[in-house]
Amino acid sequence: MKIGITCYATYGGSGIVGSELARELVRLGHTVHIIARSLPTRLTELSDDLQFHEVEALNYPLFEAPHYSLALAVKQAEVACREDLDLLHVHYAIPHSISGYLAREMLRGKHALPIVTTLHGTDITLVGSDRSYLEVTRFAIAASDGVTAISKFLARETCRQFGLPDIRVIPNFVDVEHYVRREGCALRWRLAPAGEKLLVHVSNFRPVKRVLDCVEIFSRVAKQTPSRLIMVGDGPDAGAAAARAAELGLANDVVFVGKQPRIGDYLSIADVLLLPSETESFGLSALEAMSCEVPVVASRVGGLPEVVDEGVSGFLREVGDVDAMADAVLRIVTDEALASSMGKAGRRVAVEQFTTERIVPQYLDYYREVIEAFDPGCREPKIQYVR
């Protein structure tokens, strides 16, 4: 198949999923055209079968900001026609789904372009549920030819919020050959020179991630056991987290490594992954950590219980309960047998339920279903909803 993929290129789970999916589709013999603002960070090896098309949005003095959604629609339509795409798969509803809809309509009568939208989380739970975007998100979902959600939680939440009958769930996936445990490597010695325990957090440091909770949890853990907190990524709350660490006298033990292209290097040497998010529709970093045999301490929210098995591959606690999360971390880092059994349980779940090989074919089957059902002449919304 010839597939167009649109996703955000910066550090966010949806961009990672879009990129990893593209890579795997190419490996399976398909051709993928990435249509995005910039090259997604995890995609470095382009080829004839994996091409990147950059969306450049003109900024005219009359505009308050460049019209990315419109420029994207034009690029999607242009690439679809020129490259004879069979289907366009957009990740994150706002605005990618609307751009896809515009592209499809612009091409009507010239080129059939079914649109699949994959919902990732905040496009429904935060952005899409805000009054300013609610109706357009509802429209985008209904107008798509196929819609998937990355967890049962998100599918339920979308149906509840937008009055939809049901949505296909295709969970996130992990490359279990790449995300593996690595003992005794140089990075571990550099970050924990005196054999300290390593707590790792990976995110885009947005308020929804509650990165300050990571510092609070760590301050409680560090009082009981020699440890360090490694903060991987960057974003709006990084400064506040660093300031709080300094205030607590922990500036040397909380290490901010910024945005990193090789997240696996950090996860593979961690003792615990911290994910104290306000909401999390899946928690891709939890799955990647589990693949590296790292126990997870996270909030009991959203789709996280579908990934992390409470008491088996990690501990789930209430949002904001930093005392309970610190206790959970301490249980793991002070009990080697527990840490090892949790790590192995997490790896087992990753290998048995969430491998790339198991999940990506589900997307391919869904593409075929959508292409087969696509009626190029039909202008009715594809998905019915009840207001």
Among 39, 70, 134, 208, the residue binding ligand GMT under the rule CB under 6 A is: 208
- The reply to whether 92 sits near ligand GMT by the rule CB under 6 A is yes
Q: Is 183 exposed, middle or buried (0-12, 13-18, 19+ CB in 10 A)?
A: exposed
Residue 50 beta carbon to ligand GMT: minimum distance, rounded to whole angstroms: 20
Query: What strand order describes the sheet that includes 31-36?
Result: 50-54, 31-36, 2-6, 87-91, 115-119, 146-149, 168-169
CB of 277 to ligand GMT, least distance (A): 6
Q: Assign 3-state DSSP to the chain and report helix, strand, coil percentages, each to 5.
A: 45, 15, 40
Least Cβ distance, residue 92 to ligand GMT (angstroms): 5
Does the footprint of ligand GMT cover residue 180 (CB under 6 A)? Answer: no
Distance separating alpha carbons of residues 259 and 313, to the nearest angstrom: 27
Residue 92 or 366 with smaller CB distance to ligand GMT: 92
Whether residue 76 contacts residue 327, with contact meaning beta carbons closer than 8 Å, is answered with no
Of 268 and 281, which CB lies nearer to ligand GMT in the complex structure? 281
- CB nearer to ligand GMT: give 7 or 370: 7
Q: Which is closer to ligand GMT, CB of 77 or CB of 296?
A: 296
- Residue whose CB is less far from ligand GMT, 76 or 148: 148
Q: Does residue 291 touch ligand GMT according to CB under 6 A?
A: no
Residues in contact with ligand GMT, counted by CB under 6 A, come to a total of 21
Q: Specify the residue, 248 or 349, whose C-beta has the smaller distance to ligand GMT.
A: 349
Which residues, numbered 116-175, are part of the site for ligand GMT (CB under 6 A)?
120-122, 150, 172
307 in contact with ligand GMT (CB under 6 A): no
Who contacts 82 (Cβ-Cβ below 8 Å, separation ≥6)? none
Looking at residue 355, the DSSP 8-state letter turns out to be: B
| Given 6, 279, 299, 356, the residue binding ligand GMT (CB under 6 A) | 279
* 11-50 positions binding ligand GMT, by CB under 6 A: 12-15, 17
CA distance 227 to 240: 21
Look up residue 121 and give its two tokens. Answer: 């989380």
How far is residue 170's CA from residue 59's CA, in Å, rounded to a whole number?
37
Binding mask 52-91 for ligand GMT (x = CB under 6 A): ----------------------------------------
Q: What count of other Cβ atoms lies within 10 Å of the Cβ of residue 236?
A: 12
For helices 96-107 and 68-82, angle between their N-to-C axes, nearest 10 degrees: 50
Nearest residue (CB) to ligand GMT, 122 versus 268: 122
Q: Which stretch binds ligand GMT (CB under 6 A): 6-14, 100-108, 159-167, 341-349?
A: 6-14
**Residue entry with tokens 């910066």:** 10
- Rounded to whole angstroms, the Cα distance separating 355 from 30 reads 19
299 lines the binding site for ligand GMT (CB under 6 A): no
Order of all β-strands in the sheet with 197-202: 254-258, 227-232, 197-202, 272-275, 296-299, 314-317
Cβ-based nearer residue to ligand GMT, 13 or 276: 13
Per CB under 6 A, residues contacting ligand GMT are: 12-15, 17, 92, 120-122, 150, 172, 204, 206, 208, 277, 279-284
